Structure 1
Amino acid sequence: MALHFSLIFIIFLFPLRSNAQGGPPSPGYNPSSRIGSIGFNQGYRNLWGPQHQRVDQGALTIWLDRSSGSGFKSLNPYSSGYFGAAIKLQSGYTAGVITSLYLSNNEAHPGNHDEIDIEFLGTTVGKPYVLQTNVYVRGSGDGNIIGREMQIHLWFDPTKDFHNYAILWNPTEIIFFVDDVPIRRYARKSDATFPLRPMWAYGSIWDASTWATENGKYKADYNHQPFYGRYNNFKLSGCNANGRSACRPATGSPTGSTGLSRQQYAAMAWVQRNYQFYDYCRDSQRDHRLTPEC
């Protein structure tokens, strides 16, 4: 996964509302219910750190310790699709540790790849996890990468139970979901700002101490090892880039069209109003000539 050298963490750029009660309003539509679950081995394989990966009845556990982390990769590349999993995060001190689910073609296009990320940024005791979403378009890992980060806290404790996280990617939009609630929609406004080349689905747990927790202030502490990431209820449904037959791209709307319903937009607005605290488009320290979609 690409390093995030360009990110400037402004933890309190947008103060959270303290009056949020309960969970978000119902989005009125559950795209995950339209896709059957698969076991890990039906759609994925180990990519690295095999000694730090365990599969049990289709569920996956990966872990990080001082010697290694672990990662996995889908068996096939996709040109669009819905990619999800139920994930349970490690509790306690997890600073510097990243647990992720993402799409990428970095192996096919090294130094010039596309990527769509869901990343859980580890934290210190008593502070909530950060869920970061990000989109790269023909980026590289050499410091010139242009990230499009948005960060939220969650309205629940992601270490207590499994919750469903997903990326929907089609030729017109990218939608990130948490328990079927859309938390971000990134629209295709130009070919230059949207990933269009085939990608694989990935997941990993790794040490990102240089930036992950409060811009690297807190590092991974291996006195607390091992750090676990647990995945099950995999959802992998899309247009196989190697397929020969016509394929209709996935959508996140109940009408089957692009965009979201009015009820879905209301749920997303609630999340962003109450739990989002960083938006790259609203960061005055960013050069927005590099992100014209803003």
Structure 2
Amino acid sequence: MAFQLIFMFAILFFMVPSSNAYWPPSPGYWPSSKFKSMSFYKGFRNLWGPQHQSLDQHALTIWLDRTSGSGFKSVRPFRSGYFGASIKLHPGYTAGVITAFYLSNNEAHPGFHDEVDIEFLGTTFGKPYTLQTNVYIRGSGDGKIIGREMKFHLWFDPTKDFHHYAILWNPKEIIFLVDDVPIRRYPRKSDATFPLRPMWVYGSIWDASSWATEDGKYKADYRYQPFVARYTNFKASGCTAYAPLRCHPVSASPYRSGGLTRQQHFTMRWVQSHHMIYNYCRDIKRDHRLTPECWS
């Protein structure tokens, strides 16, 4: 009888999934610890929707309702650097709503801009947020912007607590990180496929009902307004557009030359294997003549 109980317990033990079964392995290096946090007003300012923005104890709250969303922008443009913020997302029904943290020079080069995105695509009840990363290079304003989207379902609920999201951009690569876990590396394969002009850091919440949730199937429902996002632990460190040429670009690894360690690479591949839900390079519907980095 005792043997049968032990046998049954062993079966149940292996049948019940571990809560950490899909938690990434340690990257072994934590680049966020290398850059100082700043208060919101030290490095940023309101861009639009000031009446939908408030600051309390170093945390910035922005929200979207039927009348407006809100956005903010860094005071200075950068030509490389580490840019991060700890963000807590709105729970429940958020279809059609985009919460974003990104780099762009759209205001300096309207219709022909570069952009590096971290975007949280809102969702319906019971379904997880999608984190979308994207890179635009000299995009056109006529609807022919070539996106380079990679999408993920995170290994945690981003509405329960703050988590740190970051973009590291230097002349060799762009690395996207979540709680210091690298989830994507976009290397510079050519000047034509890499953003090289200075960019500002932005954050925003806005209505993108036409495409944000299941290609626009579900729209923003303002019965659930306001949709709220909270940002804190701001980091923006690197070479500004006005820094001398001797300013050395930052790195996401212990290597001053950039790149990732073997352990960071392993962790990134693990995340992409277990949590990535879309990769533009694997989309057979895309015209990959426009994205030569997919086959170069």
Tell me, in whole angstroms, the C-alpha distance in 1 between the residues paired with 2:243 and 2:174. Answer: 22
> Which SS does the other structure have where 2:231 is aligned?
strand
The Cα of 1:22 is off from its aligned counterpart by: 4.4
Q: Are 1:151 and 2:151 an aligned pair?
A: yes
Q: Are 1:128 and 2:128 an aligned pair?
A: yes
Whether the 8 Å CA contact 2:250–2:258 is kept in 1: the answer is no
State, as a whole percentage, how many aligned pairs show the same letter.
Answer: 73
Partner of 2:202: 202
* Structure 1 unpaired stretches of 5+: 1-17
Partner of 2:12: none
Tell me, in whole angstroms, the C-alpha distance in 1 between the residues paired with 2:92 and 2:140. Answer: 33
Tell me, in whole angstroms, the C-alpha distance in 2 between the residues paired with 1:120 and 1:35. Answer: 24
Moved more, 80-89 or 233-242: 233-242
Partner of 2:162: 162
Partner of 1:109: 109
Partner of 1:13: none
Whether the 8 Å CA contact 2:114–2:137 is kept in 1: the answer is yes
- 1:6-17 maps to which residues of 2 (within 5 A)? none
The Cα of 1:59 is off from its aligned counterpart by: 1.4
Name which one, 1 or 2, has greater alpha-carbon Rg. 2
Partner of 1:8: none
> Which SS does the other structure have where 1:139 is aligned?
coil
Partner of 2:191: 191
Tell me, in whole angstroms, the C-alpha distance in 2 between the residues paired with 1:30 and 1:141. Answer: 38
Whether the 8 Å CA contact 1:41–1:58 is kept in 2: the answer is no
* Residue-pair matches, total: 277
Tell me, in whole angstroms, the C-alpha distance in 1 between the residues paired with 2:200 and 2:25. Answer: 32
More helix by share: 2
Q: Are 1:69 and 2:47 an aligned pair?
A: no
TM-score, normalization by structure 2? 0.92
Moved more, 241-250 or 135-144: 241-250
Tell me, in whole angstroms, the C-alpha distance in 1 between the residues paired with 2:230 and 2:62. Answer: 7
* Structure 2 unpaired stretches of 5+: 1-16
Q: CA RMSD in A?
A: 1.2
The Cα of 1:257 is off from its aligned counterpart by: 2.3
Tell me, in whole angstroms, the C-alpha distance in 1 between the residues paired with 2:87 and 2:57. Answer: 15
Tell me, in whole angstroms, the C-alpha distance in 2 between the residues paired with 1:142 and 1:57. Answer: 42
> Which SS does the other structure have where 2:292 is aligned?
coil
Tell me, in whole angstroms, the C-alpha distance in 2 between the residues paired with 1:61 and 1:215. Answer: 27
Partner of 2:217: 217
The Cα of 1:141 is off from its aligned counterpart by: 3.5
> Which SS does the other structure have where 2:71 is aligned?
strand
Moved more, 24-33 or 239-248: 239-248
Whether the 8 Å CA contact 2:100–2:204 is kept in 1: the answer is yes
> Which SS does the other structure have where 1:270 is aligned?
helix
